Chains A and B, each alone.
Chain A
Amino acid sequence: MKNGTAIAILCCLLVLAGCNRPKTSPAPQATAHGAALVEVSGGKQVAQAGMELDQPVVVQVNDAQNNAVTGAAVVFRGPAGVSFNPASGLTDSSGQLSTIVTLGGVAGRYVIRATTTDAGGKNVELKLDEIALGYQQTLGRELNRQYCSRCHNPESTRERVSNYDNLTTKPHAFTEGDALNKMSDADLAAIISHGGPALNQSPEMPSFGYTLAKSDIQALISYIRAVADPPYHSAGVVYAKK
């Protein structure tokens, strides 16, 4: 009789266990809680729409004393189309969690959010911007690699030495939104087409108007706008009042 009850209970438990099996993997159980979430690396990356970012996004959970917390649960979320691998997990021994981000299929800026809960059960959130390029911006990026980055990108790699340090007037990196966002599209087009002197700037910027097609210059501007930091907000079309 006792045996029978035990078996019945076991069966019930098994059935319940079966019922409880979740359809998606749950957020892992946190073994510790932090007070702050900081970016280690991976923010403001640029990739083509629908593609993985080159580098993983790495975040770190710190406690109130700014020490790394191991075993805190972090969940990544993003707008529609963005996917994470993994989408959630526990921080490792250095308090960090790394995820590979695939951007959505539409060009633009994607704000991805990492969240963790502190000891009091409150959500702590970190927002990171990632940039997805459409066709025109991708073309702009390739043109930038070919013609512009030698001078405009101060970083040298083994294969591509930067000319930035050799210039008397230092060119703006294309991410310098503070400077470039103030310039209108027409100004940018003028300086690319006719060189620095067109806007009373240094002649070290040569004119590309006879080398690049109008659509190429448009693509470059579109790329410059896409990667600007802080982000560029178009003034929009201005219409005469009714």
Chain B
Amino acid sequence: MSLGEQIRSLRRKLFGDPARAFGSISLVLLGMLAIAPAKNYFSEWGHYQKGYLKLIRSRADALTLARHFSPGFQQIWLPEMDVVDRCTTCHVALKEPSLSDVSRQPYRPHSPIPHSLTQFGCVVCHRGQGRATTVQEAHNSTKAWEHPMLPSRYLESSCGQCHLGPLLGTPQLNLGRQLIAGYGCVRCHTVMQPDGTRMMASDDPPSLQHIAEKTTRQWIYAWIKNPQAYAASVTMPNFQLSDHDARDISAFLMAQSTPLAAIHNQPAAKGASASPDATAGASLYGESFCASCHAVQNAAGVLVGGDLGPELTRIGSKVKPEWLEAWLRNPSVYDPNTKMPHYRFDPKQIATLAGYLEAKTDSDLLANVHLSEATPDQIQHGKLLVMEDGCTSCHEVNGIKKPENFAPDLSRVGSRSLAVLAFPEGVPHTLPDYIEAKVRNPRAFGPGLKMPQYTFSEQQRSAITTALLSLTDRAQTQPPALRTAAVHESNYQPAGKAGRLMADLRCFSCHAINGRGGDMAPDLSWEGSSVQRPWLVEFLRNPETLRPALIRRMPRFNLTPDEINTLTDYIMIVYQTPAVDRDSLPASSFTPDMVEKGRQLFYSKYACQSCHIVDPNKDKGYIGPALWAVGSRLNAAWVYAYLKNPPAMRPGTLEPDQHLSDAEARSLTAFLMAQKSAKQAGKK
């Protein structure tokens, strides 16, 4: 039988008469109708759902789990957030904490987070393609979808889309934002935050307008060649300048510098600078608590001291002696915006301290720097380089304006399209990898790029990437109601004579008042409600430490009695809280019984001696402030209010709210107010 005959006989068999034709076509139709359910049945997600049912069958809570399970396609749809997430089709057990021992995906329950799944969906945090229905398309990037799932090391970036301020549970994000502000990234790059404010830098690059008064051309040369060689802790990046470029830039910076007469018009200390006394210098450095802000490398190479001011390990190789003396005399003469207080040292102290600091040299630093006299061509070229490299984005330089939009805007860098990015070889094609590689080695992305080289640790890089990834399109466009605002620093400025004095002493470098200022020292917004005037006068005259365990301490500013009076009056009258009436608990309201009751509460019921010292011979706790003279320091009404709710009166305090009853709080206050200083006790 030939092929043609076979076909003809088959056709006769199937469509020979109307009944046969009807039957055949019905069968074909049935088969076609079965395609859709079959596709579902054999689909990837169907496979996972069957696997889940098999998994829970043998578990003790199988019935509950099966009741929670709904078969078929699942979808979270949040129109106002543009979320269509089908992830829960396969990830069926996200809300089943009893499956926490299951490690197999997609059956793991979601680890506990403060948000509900149905409120935000999945891709808002994890990225990936929520609409996809296959594993490959949902998790990885495809041609049509550029943003694969976010690796978990950057996951905190997603929190940052709504939470514009720091969160306790997101240390990476917080660190990244701090670094971006603290290393001045936002001086070149614009970052507009979703709340419409511009991200501000928190570093303090000095003006270079009078640089020749401060340092030498040799030092500038060595510094711009490699800032980290001078001090590993500096924030200035390495611009990888050639010897020629560094020579020309240093020539230009010296040439543009204008003299500052005020520095030279000061009487020199008589004969004191001739013989710097190292021991006296070291003890003055210690007494003045310079180490609260400045660090110095010790013999073991460990940095000791704070990071509010620059590291001083090699300061003697950097600054000119006459500049240093002028700076110690009054820093704001050279830099009106400095954070350093005006210490009011006497000429002898200045000479001693300057001598001590000048001895901190490093002969290797400038040993190989040999510069000949600068030529006009070099200076001209240097100026060009200073403009091209964007030095004036951070530093003020005479004759050159701060450039606008010097570097790409990063306001939406977390959603940047991969198509517009040029990846160097060896960098995986994902946005996090691109950002991290860029922060690691910016110049590897092509010749002629200007971004300098930073020396970040692996963790710091990852934190910066996390913070940058939080700057997404979604963050900018989502409903404002979802945003949790950041706390922006207020522009509070005390006025009058006291205000000028506080500005001169740079109180805000360490203390916060009314929403402005540093966090190194206690917030003083309510100081006037809390302390007694004689104590404050004595403290400003000679600050003794309240916390034995603390390294950073308030320095002595050598204030005149008049200045102390002005400051004390202002603080006592202005910095009050309405929550405390200073006169509501006079000393006469405390009976010896209450004092005794308070003593028992202090030592037995609440064991306050674990953290506080009332009797220096017996008590040992040194985490909280020492209380042996607290009755001469604090106001009774404040102590009472504080004991009733410590975190409310001093936000961020370690001391928990123990819900003392009114009577208990009053007895404890009576006991504490009975702890007078030796001087006051002696008077009575």
Q: Which residues of A contact B (CB under 8 A)?
A: 48-52, 54, 100, 102, 104-108, 134-136, 138-139, 142-143, 146-147, 150-151, 158-159, 161, 163, 165-168, 195, 202-204, 206-208, 210-212, 215, 218-219, 222, 234, 236-237, 239
Contact = CB atoms under 8 A, between A and B. Distances in A.
A167 B610 contact: yes
B192 interface: no
B659 interface: yes
A25 to B, nearest CB: 15
Contacts of B658: 195, 206-207, 210
Contacts of B108: 106
A106 B610 contact: no
B153 A159 contact: no
A143 B168 contact: yes
B308 to A, nearest CB: 14
B551 A146 contact: no
Contacts of B655: 206
B60 A239 contact: yes
Contact of B656 (A210, A219, A222): A210
Contacts of A150: 623, 654
B111 A105 contact: no
14 contacts: A50-B153, A142-B168, A142-B169, A146-B654, A150-B623, A163-B549, A166-B620, A202-B607, A203-B606, A206-B607, A206-B656, A210-B659, A239-B60, A239-B61
Interface in B630-657: 645, 647, 654-657
A139 B174 CA distance: 13
Contacts of B153: 48-51, 102, 105
A218 B604 CA distance: 28
A100 B459 CA distance: 12
Contact of A136 (B111, B462, B657): B111
B623 A163 contact: yes
B604 A135 contact: no
Interface string B131-174: 00000000000000000000111110000000000001111100
B611 interface: yes
B539 to A, nearest CB: 22
Contacts of B623: 150-151, 161, 163
Contacts, number: 116
B60 A136 contact: no
Interface of A (DSSP majority class): loop
Interface string B420-462: 0000000000000000000000000000000000000011001
A135 B169 contact: yes
A234 B606 CA distance: 33
Contacts of B169: 135-136, 138-139, 142, 219
Contact of A208 (B60, B458, B645, B656): B656
A218 B607 CA distance: 25
A134 B113 CA distance: 9
A83 B108 CA distance: 22
B605 interface: yes
B656 A158 contact: no
B485 interface: no
A76 to B, nearest CB: 18
Contacts of A143: 168
Nearest to A167: B610
A139 B152 contact: no
Contact of A159 (B551, B607, B622, B657): B551
A51 B304 contact: no
Which of B111, B462, B604, B605 has the most CB atoms of chain A within a 10 A radius of its CB? B111
Given A50-B151, A218-B112, A163 B172 contact: no
Interface string B88-103: 0000000000101101
A195 to B, nearest CB: 7
B610 A166 contact: yes
B518 interface: no
B171 A142 contact: yes
Contacts of A135: 111-113, 169
A151 B168 CA distance: 20
A45 to B, nearest CB: 13
A222 B100 CA distance: 13
Contacts of A51: 153, 172, 459, 462
Contact of B605 (A142, A167, A203): A203
B625 interface: no
A75 B389 CA distance: 46
A211 B656 contact: yes
B4 interface: no
B620 A50 contact: no
Given A203-B605, A211-B656, A50 B155 contact: yes
Contacts of A167: 610, 621
B586 interface: no
